[in-house]
A = this chain, B = another copy of it.
């Protein structure tokens, strides 16, 4: 896979289209952008463009809450299987881990965390990532109760303040 071989920056829509034997214009028509194509290749039910538009607007001190709410809505709509596949893939292949690092760095950290972080953007992004990935693992992959079936208000009340500290609070 072109992204896995060359990384996000090295891959071009033209080469991807050539390898798939389709017209690059078709790729742009269906996916809209290299970024959307990249996200499609990760097979996660997240459109970062939509995600950023949904969670970024609003009070910065409530971004953590909007992120947790949106996260639960997106992943509760699946049966957790795409997430388990993603986790296996990242834990098995360095190329998948590299893609995921780029995805997290470019889209999640750059756009979402970057909209509020007062300093240490990369560290805050990685910390926020640790909370979101951990929540995903416990709720959808390990399915540890009571977090696996807790309702959204309970999870938001418990997790959002911690996420918010990573986004905008003091880190030392």
Contacts and interface: CB of A to CB of B under 8 A. Distances in A.
B123 A129 contact: no
A137 B126 contact: no
Number of identical monomers bound together in the oligomeric complex = 2
Given A123-B147, A138-B126, A88 B92 contact: yes
Interface of A: 84-85, 87-88, 90-92, 97, 100-101, 104-105, 122-123, 126-127, 129-135, 137-139, 141-148, 150, 154, 157-159, 161-162, 165-166, 171-172
Cβ-closest 5 pairs across A and B? A134-B134, A126-B147, A130-B134, A157-B172, A162-B162
29 contacts: A84-B92, A85-B91, A87-B87, A90-B142, A91-B141, A97-B141, A97-B142, A100-B142, A101-B143, A104-B142, A104-B144, A105-B144, A126-B144, A126-B146, A127-B147, A127-B158, A129-B138, A130-B131, A130-B138, A130-B139, A133-B134, A133-B142, A134-B134, A154-B172, A157-B172, A158-B166, A158-B171, A162-B162, A162-B165
